[in-house]
Amino acid sequence: MEALHRVAKKVSDTIWEIPVSYKEGMRVPARIYATEKLIKDIDEGVIDQITNVATLPGITKYALCMPDGHFGYGFPIGGVAAMDVEQGGVISPGGIGFDINCGMRLVVTNLTYKDVKPHIKQLVDKLYKSVPAGVGSKGFVKLSRNDFRQVLQQGARWCVDNGYGWEADLELMEENGCLAGANPDKVSEKAIDRGFNQIGTLGSGNHYLEIQVAKKENIYDRELARAFGITIPDQVVIMFHCGSRGFGHQVATDYLQVFLKVMESKYGIKVLDRELACAPFDSPEGQAYFAAMQCGINMSFANRQVILHRIREVFSEVFGRSAEDLGLEMVYDVAHNTAKLEQHIVDGQARSLLVHRKGATRAFGPDMSDVPEAYKVYGQPVIIGGSMETGSYLLAGVPTGDQTFFSTAHGSGRKMSRTKARKTWSGDVLQKEMLSKGIYVRSTSASGLAEEAGGAYKNVDDVIEAAELAGISKRVARLTPIGNIKG
């Protein structure tokens, strides 16, 4: 893209740096991670947004955009910014996203493609009924509002304690499926009303549940694959992508309004885009949002935990064997819409930073403290969803990930608006074409399916190549879809 070539210095084959002189108010340079292949799909809006992010108080080192980056709300999707909380760093809902803790979960089985192929239609149809999808969908877990407040505090732990999962699941989630600072008192009743009946649901948009195959020719690192549970040729795995539904959206909406009222009048903070509304992290408003946002994170972990429980039920019913016997074990659960306090080394010194990841995945390297013990020597598993027509990836965090505060891409990244996609593809035709390619799809609407056509996204292989070449994550396996439920 000519615009980026004009304003950015090419630091390496995968890093483009925009200097602080580009825009008045920039406190740090902005860096976009992309190969020459991906540059053509970086729109000018991303340049404008990531350089706006570079003006926020407390931002440390760089404003970063991952290889799947595209235009978003406030931050570009794929945006990363670390704020020094001891130097006036801010917290911004636009740097986290409306779907708080939208994330990925990957589950292995001991089944092969040969085992599953005769049952794929039955599996997808049953999963479609067991895991509600679409706008306004409600889950089968019936909670009172007070029960829901417990979920907001306990996250996935609540699910396991109430029979929706295994103790071992908790060890294989980012933050063990719960952040301790969540405070339901900082959440509006409207948010509670929107979320208390949505546990165990996919939602809409780009959320999905997919049955995939780890073909033996698509294993890039056999040692890492074995460590992460991929141990047999053509092994079947299940991946799903969802978040905090209407609850997270309401939390973000509520606090954006709070921040807009106090940002300039109380704290003297001016932003170049009102979508970057923020407050000092250590302010009463900043702390209240942080506590409410952590409720969104915990709700999402619980949501994915109940979905996993339903998946285990369906597979057990179809194959007439227990979930344990089928080897339905978690690989990992990762978030990609969060802000979390982390310790990072910056210019040789340890600093406490609030790392905003908006459409970006945490990718901690080997021997880091928050990596599960089972993966400590290998690095954190990283789950990257591609389009429903192409494939997805399992990656691992690497030591050189410190350059992005150990963050990497979260998906393939849109390159076409949903409106244009609906005009370009017919959902009904797309569904038939995918079936002819061996991918059985169920969706709540034909138009929603059209929005998610593979052609509306960047090439996931190019995105993963850029992330690996940049040294921010490492390929382990490519996963090919055979069954898909689309929200």
> Alpha carbon of 147 to those of 150, 299, 334: distances in Å?
5, 12, 25
Please state, as a whole number, how many other Cβ atoms lie within 10 Å of the Cβ of residue 336: 31
Torsional class of 228: left (φ above 0), alpha (ψ -120 to 50), beta (otherwise): alpha
Query: What distance in Å separates the CA atoms of residue 165 and residue 306, rounded to the nearest whole number?
Result: 7
Residues shown for the chain = 487
Neighbours of 114 (CB within 10 A): 10
For the chain, what percentages of helix, strand and coil (3-state, to nearest 5) are there?
40, 25, 35
Backbone angles phi and psi of 202, in degrees to 5: -80, -40
**410-to-43, 77, 88, 357 alpha-carbon distances in Å:** 18, 9, 28, 10
Taking the C-alpha atoms of residue 8 and residue 30, their distance in angstroms, rounded to an integer, is 9
> What is the rounded distance in angstroms from the CA atom of residue 137 to the CA atom of residue 199?
10
d(CA 261, CA 290): 17
Alpha carbons 423 and 453: distance in angstroms, whole number: 11
Summarised one tens digit per residue, pLDDT across range 171-225 is 999 999 999 999 999 999 999 999 999 999 998 888 999 999 999 999 999 999 9
Q: Which amino acid is at 246?
A: G
How many CB atoms neighbour CB 128 within 10 A? 21
Element (H, E) at 479: strand 474-486
pLDDT tens, position by position, for the chain (487 residues)? 567 778 889 999 999 999 999 999 999 999 999 999 998 878 889 999 999 999 999 999 999 999 999 999 999 999 999 999 999 999 999 999 999 999 999 999 999 999 999 999 999 999 999 998 887 788 889 999 999 999 999 999 999 999 999 999 999 999 999 999 999 999 999 999 999 999 999 988 889 999 999 999 999 999 999 999 999 999 999 999 999 999 999 999 999 999 999 999 999 999 999 999 999 999 999 999 999 999 999 999 999 999 999 999 999 999 999 999 999 999 999 999 999 999 999 999 999 999 999 999 999 999 999 999 999 999 999 999 998 889 999 999 999 999 999 999 999 999 999 999 999 999 999 999 999 999 999 998 999 999 999 999 999 999 999 999 999 999 999 999 999 999 7
CA atoms of 47 and 170, how far apart (whole Å): 39
Q: Is residue 334 within 8 Å of 381, Cβ to Cβ?
A: yes
Radius of gyration of the chain measured on its C-alpha atoms: 21
DSSP 105: E
Please report the sign of the dihedral spanned by the C-alpha atoms of residue 159, residue 160, residue 166, residue 172. Answer: positive
- Read off the pTM: 0.97
Q: Is there a catalytic annotation at residue 410? A: yes
Annotate 447-485 with b (16+ C-beta within 10 A) or e (fewer).
ebbbbbbbebbbbbbbbbbbbbebbbbbbbbbbbbbbbb
Q: What is the residue-wise DSSP string for 5-65?
A: HHH-EE-SSSEEEE-GGGSTT--S-EEEE--HHHHTT--HHHHHHHHHHTTSTTEEEEEEE
At residue 2, the pLDDT reads 60
Q: To the nearest 10°, report the CA torsion of 34, 37, 40, 45.
A: -20
Q: Give CA–CA dist 147/259, Å, rounded.
A: 29
Q: Which two tokens stand for residue 133?
A: 């999808």
| 160 close to 170: Cβ distance less than 8 angstroms | yes
Strand ranges (E), 347-472: 349-358, 361-362, 381-384, 392-396, 407-408, 440-443
Element (DSSP H or E) covering residue 297? helix 284-319
Q: Are 122 and 191 in contact (CB under 8 A)?
A: no
Q: Name which of 428, 408, 485, 415 is nearest 454 in CA terms.
A: 415
* Coil vs helix vs strand at 199: coil
Tell me the C-alpha distance between 301 and 333, whole Å: 8
List the beta bridge partners of residue 334.
Answer: 104
pLDDT at 25: 97
CA distance 234 to 228: 15
- Rounded Cα distance, 217 and 323, in Å: 27
